[in-house]
């Protein structure tokens, strides 16, 4: 089990670095390539990957201190990945204090088995140094901002951005929450059965839930006897694993049976299936996405969830929204930098820059502008992102309201998030440290 887990973890971390993939995509590719079968080794591998990549800056600086630059440049991605995992398992899980030689020797044996002793010899000689060196060496000469970055496991520029945005106390709390495991939330799929019937099925399968009072069909998972994706209720699609902030965005759209709804940037279908559920499978939903691969996933998801009223359209909405309709509701969840989901996707924080935030904001503006003429008078646009940056949220909405004077910002009920920034207090923001959800932004725009 351990050998398979480490092989999967090494390969996945290497793919993340080489191809700039997300954890989930790199992991899926690796599982398929290696043909990993043992569920315990797969779970262990994923945990190793997430917790190691989460602390990448601290781990890399520590390794850099021990290795000289000449040797670093010679190392392959696979060897780098092994060293990162080695530091996580032998040092970080021990809080950098206790040293377990037997465990370290066992991991070294794994390295020799996976790479072969000749190839592994490139790094074997430094394992002892990595095992005994103090963490304090990486803080020597560091300024306050760099210390916060290394201690909170975030890029230095992002730490400054968040502290400026939220203030020091809330900013540090936000950064810390990105390292914590957030609750898992379920949306009951009432297309497949009544809420009480689904709750009974889940209870029978050993799932303990807590209702989120302000939302309709959303529950927090308190305990599950088995992995949620392995139980019969999931196979029957009686529920969907969906963060409560994402669910909130669909609920405030308030779609009615018979409505015409556009779900823009829709794949893989999380919001489409909830909109159909709220519409009691009556009306029509046009789901637009640019990706053929993601649309294929969308089609499969709609079939399994029992959605009958949604129709996929493959299009690049930055260029055009190819529909001659006046929609009652447009739900837009555009591509974003994912700064609100670093807890679940820690690799994203090492890829983004201020430049990528600005680039993403340009794309979001283009897509939102294309939506303006597709909603009828009195109709609604819901704009949401899983990002916490001003540039992708309040700046976009402020610019939209200035250009499109026939739209106004509406109050959002229930008020379970915090007010938006820059005097756009009718918008709502979610933060992991406050709301125990993904970081999220949502605005509701009404056409006069």
Using alpha carbons, list the distances in angstroms from residue 242 to 186, 284, 435.
Answer: 6, 22, 15
Neighbours of 68 (CB within 10 A): 9
If DSSP codes are grouped into helix, strand and coil, which group holds residue 29? helix
Rounded Cα distance between 299 and 304, Å, is 9
Domain hosting residue 204, numbered range: 185-241
Q: For residue 110, what pLDDT is reported?
A: 93
CB-count exposure of residue 318 (10 Å: 0-12, 13-18, 19+): middle
CATH number at residue 55: 1.10.940.10
Q: Are residues 414 and 426 in the same domain?
A: yes
Q: Which of 197, 224, 241 is the last residue of a domain?
A: 241
| Structure tokens belonging to residue 294 | 């993601």
Q: For residue 406, what pLDDT is reported?
A: 96
Q: Are residues 306 and 322 in the same domain?
A: yes
Q: Which of 344, 336, 327, 187 is nearest to 251 (CA)?
A: 187
| Structure tokens belonging to residue 302 | 């709609």
Q: Are residues 217 and 150 in the same domain?
A: no
| Contact predicate 427/394, CB 8 Å | yes
Rounded Cα distance between 20 and 25, Å, is 10
Q: Are residues 355 and 216 in the same domain?
A: no
Q: What DSSP state is assigned to residue 68?
A: -
Q: Are residues 286 and 367 in the same domain?
A: yes
Q: For residue 71, what pLDDT is reported?
A: 61
Q: Are residues 250 and 211 in the same domain?
A: no
Are β-strands 440-447 and 375-385 bridged in parallel, bridged antiparallel, or unpaired? Answer: antiparallel
Q: For residue 39, what pLDDT is reported?
A: 87
| Structure tokens belonging to residue 387 | 């990002």
Q: Which of 196, 223, 241 is the last residue of a domain?
A: 241
Neighbours of 85 (CB within 10 A): 24
Q: Are residues 120 and 24 in the same domain?
A: yes
Q: Are residues 396 and 417 in the same domain?
A: yes
Residue entry with tokens 């005994």: 132
Q: Are residues 267 and 126 in the same domain?
A: no
Q: What is the mean pLDDT of each run of 10 residues along the chain (448 residues)?
A: 91 94 92 87 94 96 80 81 96 92 93 90 90 92 95 97 97 96 96 96 97 95 94 96 95 97 94 97 96 93 96 93 93 96 95 96 97 96 98 98 97 96 97 97 97
| Contact predicate 81/59, CB 8 Å | no
CATH number at residue 345: 3.40.50.150
Number of domains present in the structure of the chain = 4
Q: Are residues 84 and 73 in the same domain?
A: yes
Q: For residue 428, what pLDDT is reported?
A: 98
Q: Which of 226, 217, 220 is nearest to 181 (CA)?
A: 220
Q: Are residues 389 and 439 in the same domain?
A: yes
Q: Are residues 233 and 252 in the same domain?
A: no
pTM, 2 dp:
0.94
CATH number at residue 226: 3.30.70.1170
């Amino acid at each position: 089990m351990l050998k398979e887990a480490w092989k999967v973890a090494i390969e996945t971390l290497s793919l993340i670095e080489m191809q700039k993939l997300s954890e989930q995509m790199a992991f899926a590719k690796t599982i398929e390539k290696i043909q990993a079968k043992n569920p315990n080794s797969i779970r262990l591998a994923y945990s190793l990957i997430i917790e190691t990549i989460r602390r990448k800056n601290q781990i890399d600086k520590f390794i850099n201190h021990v290795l000289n630059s000449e040797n670093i440049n010679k190392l392959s991605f696979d060897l780098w990945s092994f060293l990162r995992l080695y530091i996580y398992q032998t040092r970080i899980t021990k809080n950098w204090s206790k040293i377990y030689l037997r465990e370290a020797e066992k991991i070294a044996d794994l390295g020799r088995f996976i790479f072969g002793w000749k190839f592994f010899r490139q790094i074997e000689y430094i394992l002892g140094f990595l095992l005994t060196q103090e963490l304090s060496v990486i803080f020597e000469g560091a300024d306050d901002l760099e210390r916060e970055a290394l201690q909170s496991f975030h890029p230095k520029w992002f730490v400054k951005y968040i502290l400026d945005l939220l203030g020091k106390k809330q900013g540090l709390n936000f950064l810390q929450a990105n390292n914590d495991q957030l609750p898992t939330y379920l949306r009951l799929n009432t297309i497949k059965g009544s809420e009480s019937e689904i709750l009974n099925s889940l209870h029978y399968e050993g799932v303990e839930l807590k209702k989120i009072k302000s939302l309709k069909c959303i529950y927090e998972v308190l305990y599950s006897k088995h992995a949620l994706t392995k139980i019969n209720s999931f196979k029957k699609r009686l529920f969907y694993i969906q963060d409560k902030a994402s669910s909130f965005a669909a609920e405030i759209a308030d779609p009615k049976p018979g409505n015409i709804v556009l779900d823009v940037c829709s794949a893989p279908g999380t919001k489409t299936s909830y909109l159909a559920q709220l519409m009691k499978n009556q009306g029509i939903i046009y789901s637009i996405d640019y990706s053929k691969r993601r649309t294929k996933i969308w089609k499969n998801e709609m079939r399994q969830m029992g959605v009958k009223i949604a129709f996929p359209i493959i299009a690049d909405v930055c260029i055009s929204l190819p529909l001659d309709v006046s929609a009652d509701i447009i739900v837009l969840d555009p591509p974003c930098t994912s700064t609100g989901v670093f807890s679940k996707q820690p690799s994203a924080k090492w890829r983004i820059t201020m430049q990528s935030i600005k680039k993403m904001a340009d794309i979001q503006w283009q897509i939102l502008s294309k939506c303006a003429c597709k909603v009828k008078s009195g109709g609604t646009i819901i704009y949401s992102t899983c990002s916490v940056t001003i540039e992708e949220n309040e700046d976009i909405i402020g610019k939209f309201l200035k250009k499109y004077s026939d739209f106004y910002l509406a109050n959002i009920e229930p008020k379970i998030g915090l007010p938006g920034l820059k005097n756009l207090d009718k918008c709502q923001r979610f933060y992991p440290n406050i709301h125990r959800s993904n970081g999220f932004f949502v605005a509701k725009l009404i056409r006069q």
